[in-house]
A and B are shown apart, each in its own frame.
Chain A
Amino acid sequence: MARELPYIGAINESLRQEMARDPRVLYFGQNIATTDADPFLAEFGPDRVRTTPISETAEIGMAVGAALAGYRPVVELYMAEFMLVAMDQVVNEAPRLRYMTGGQVTVPLVLKAGYGFTAGWAGQHTGSIYGMFLGVPGLKVALPATPADAKGLLATAVRDDNPVCFFHHYLLTLEPGDVPEGEYLVPFGQAAVRRAGGDVTIVATGWMVGKALAAAERLAAEGIAAEVIDPRTIAPLDAATILESVAKTGRLVLVDQATRHGSVAAVIAAEVAEAGFGSLRAPVKQVTALDATIPYSQPMEEYVLPDEDKIVAAVREVLGLTAVESVSG
């Protein structure tokens, strides 16, 4: 049975269920569980739920250690940018220890952080920096776009035997959606086709999935059938579903809130260039954030980000249409 929950509610439900299921799951980070009224502390106790100082290197490093010792920590990091303080642990420790020891150890942990908070937070709390964690062997990266995926991907992350960056999008926090009750898992590396269509493939992640669907709706009114694909995890990346769609549509628009060269769009474009070039009937078009730090002031903030209009324009471009033409017309 599904019922409606906000994205954040789905995340909390998933974590609560996983902690109830497996006593090895720990939850710690800054500014959680500071009073007995904290629901996680109340249910799971101070051994498994702890507030930490503002010490990201220690928080993530301790998660690595607890994971080496048999636990499954979930670190509450709030903002993906805070992980930058502890990049060694994220990139150079957690994902490499299993490999460097010839498989003698496993490091199951979840780094839970929000991203993309483009709501006037200026330059240091608004980035879509998942590209920095992409291409790190041993690390997995999940970017849920719906409440149901937020629940299912977090549960899968907790059960995964590898370090996982679970990045929830801040602008989706209160978005409602149908969420299955009880145990619900969304497998990693399996894209979701959010809308079927034969004229053009649009790939989008996180907050951009909604923008892409809105653009597809507008394009449908012009007789353009866009297929919208949400990879859901970008490491592993389900390139097969994207290639299959491109084989059908011959046209690809990649929508990504990250800056152009730090995006997953660039990675997908490379995969399609190598394995799907023969299907392409037009150059791949990337709709990404402009190469700028996110500005504070709203008109500038909106200017640098991808939006519905930019997606519609990109689709028209790959279809070889001017602004007033359409496929049917």
Chain B
Amino acid sequence: MAGNEGTAGLDAGRLIWIYTQMVRIREFEERVKATFTEHPGVIRGHTHLADGAEASIVGSLAALGPRDQLMATYRCHGYPLALGTPATAMMAEIYGRKTGLCGGYGGSMHLTDPGRGFLGTSGIVGQGIPQATGVAYAAQIRGEGQVVACFFGDGAAKQGAFHESLNIASLWKLPIVYVLENNGYNVVTRAEQEDANAAAGEPLAVKAVAYSMPGATVDGGDPVAVHREVAAAVSRARGGEGPTLVESRIYRLSAHGNIIAPPGVPLHFPEHEAVEVFGAPEEYEAAKRRDPVPRMRGFLVSHGTLTPAEADQIADAARAEMADAVEFALRSPFPDPEAATDFVYAD
């Protein structure tokens, strides 16, 4: 809340809700990360964490109505937590258990909860964008005022799928908000190494100009600012004025994902690429000092919205909830192997 521009219509209850969800996401991701050392072998494959993006995720989702819908990417743990998906089912999915949100068929990259409006993710960069655009086309035809939020990263903005989708969404005035979570890195490639706008010192939101839609860049570490921008975009979309591109500048506080290694090599999370690859620990330390979770806590406490004790209670509750999620997932059975041929086709 560096600029302290007020709370843009968010009352105390809503601000506390936002903070609570941010803390829950952070704690969930901490437990996922800790699983690699505390329970080696329990998480397989490739896992991507949302730490650092909490303010952006929750600020965006706070701008959606109950019947609105969203799609996201393989970095998908944050959204369902804020939508109310049980952390137990999510952790069990990441642990490959029968009780998982997707029954163990999808894992970390494919957490999906259509009953809460979260229609899916793609594990392939940028490929969920046209799908979300199609959900928005459906919403337009249905004519019930639904809006779709489409979340993706800065890397995806170099995919043809992004450009094709924004063109059609603007042409057809689809009710969609594109939230570009710019964390500055495509895996280990910095944005200015792969993005012409970034290399020219321009915000990535300028891409909206090419598609004749509004574009805005916002501090993704400030949930109130994110909410303000996304809420304005949602309002335009609901009013039939078409899509908006919101660039939300965040800093991912973990590496892109756990190490990619063949079986036999224990998996773990390496240091952030700024440290591990670019030898720039000062960049990472600066980002840590702007960590959105303590920042929001400081804002709420300094404004008297929360007492320090109340903020601690929120954190304690999140810790207990996520510890339970880990216990639940560890206790849960694996799926029956024969279930692997279910759900290939819909009957």
- By a beta-carbon cutoff of 8 Å, the part of chain A in contact with chain B is 26, 47-48, 50, 52-53, 55, 57-71, 73, 88-89, 92-93, 97-106, 108, 137-138, 140, 161-162
Q: Is the CB of A137 within 8 A of B134?
A: no
Whether A103 pairs with B103 at a CB distance below 8 angstroms is yes
Instruction: Output the least CB separation between A30 and chain B (Å).
Output: 12
| Residue in B102, B103, B134 whose CB lies within 8 Å of A69 | B134
Report yes or no: B164 in contact with A55, Cβ–Cβ below 8 A.
yes
> In the bound complex, how far is the Cα of B130 from the Cα of A65, in angstroms?
7
Q: Which residue on chain A has the smallest CB distance to residue B176?
A: A65
Number of residues from B at the complex interface, CB < 8 A: 46
CB within 8 Å for A102 and B106 given contacts A65-B138, A88-B124, A92-B124 = yes
Partner of B110, one of A53, A62, A89, A101: A101
With A89-B130, A103-B342 known, 15 other A-B pairs at CB within 8 A are: A57-B160, A62-B133, A62-B134, A64-B131, A65-B131, A66-B135, A68-B131, A68-B135, A73-B134, A89-B127, A98-B345, A100-B105, A101-B114, A102-B102, A102-B104
Q: Is the CB of B345 within 8 A of A65?
A: no
Which 6 pairs between the two chains have the least Cβ-Cβ distance?
A65-B134, A61-B130, A62-B134, A102-B103, A69-B138, A58-B164
User: Given the complex of chains A and B, what is the CA–CA distance between A98 and B138 in angstroms?
Assistant: 19
Contact with A along B319-341 (1 / 0, CB 8 A): 00000000000000000000000
Known: A101-B120, A138-B345. A63 touches B134 (CB 8 A): yes
Question: Known contacts A64-B131, A65-B130: does B161 contact A57 (CB below 8 Å)?
Answer: yes
User: Which partner residue on chain A sits nearest B165 by CB separation?
Assistant: A58
Q: Offer 20 A-B interface pairs, CB within 8 angstroms, sorted by A.
A: A26-B141, A47-B141, A50-B172, A57-B160, A58-B168, A60-B130, A64-B131, A65-B119, A68-B119, A68-B120, A68-B131, A68-B134, A69-B139, A70-B138, A71-B141, A92-B124, A92-B127, A102-B343, A103-B343, A140-B345
A97 to B119 Cα, complex, angstroms? 10
Which residues in B have some Cβ–Cβ distance to A below 8 Å?
69, 71, 100-106, 110, 112-114, 119-120, 122, 124, 127, 129-142, 160-161, 164-165, 167-168, 171-172, 342-347
Most buried by A among B120, B124, B136, B160: B120
Contact, CB under 8 Å: B119 / A69: yes
Q: Is A161's CB under 8 angstroms from B106's CB?
A: no
Closest to A107 in B: B346
Residues of B within 8 A of A68 (CB): 114, 119-120, 131, 134-135
In the bound complex, do residue B164 and residue A57 qualify as a contact, i.e. CB atoms below 8 Å apart?
Answer: yes
Residue of B nearest to A94 (CB): B131
A50, closest chain B residue (CB): B172
**B221 nearest CB across to chain A (Å):** 30
Does A93 contact B134, Cβ atoms closer than 8 Å?
Answer: no
Interface centre among B131, B172, B343 (most CB of A within 10 A): B131
Task: State how many angstroms separate the Cβ of A196 from the closest Cβ of chain B.
Answer: 31
Tell me whether B343 and A93 are in contact (CB under 8 A): no
> Are A61 and B129 interface neighbours, CB within 8 A?
yes
Instruction: Across the interface, name the chain B residue whose C-beta is closest to A55.
Output: B164
Assess the A161–B129 pair: CB atoms within 8 A: no
Q: Is the CB of B136 within 8 A of A65?
A: yes
Beta-carbon contact of B71 and A65 below 8 Å: yes
Chain B residue with Cβ nearest A70: B138
Inter-chain CA distance A66–B342, complex, in Å, is 24
Residue of A nearest to B343 (CB): A103
Which of A69, A98, A100, A162 interacts with B69 by CB under 8 Å? A69
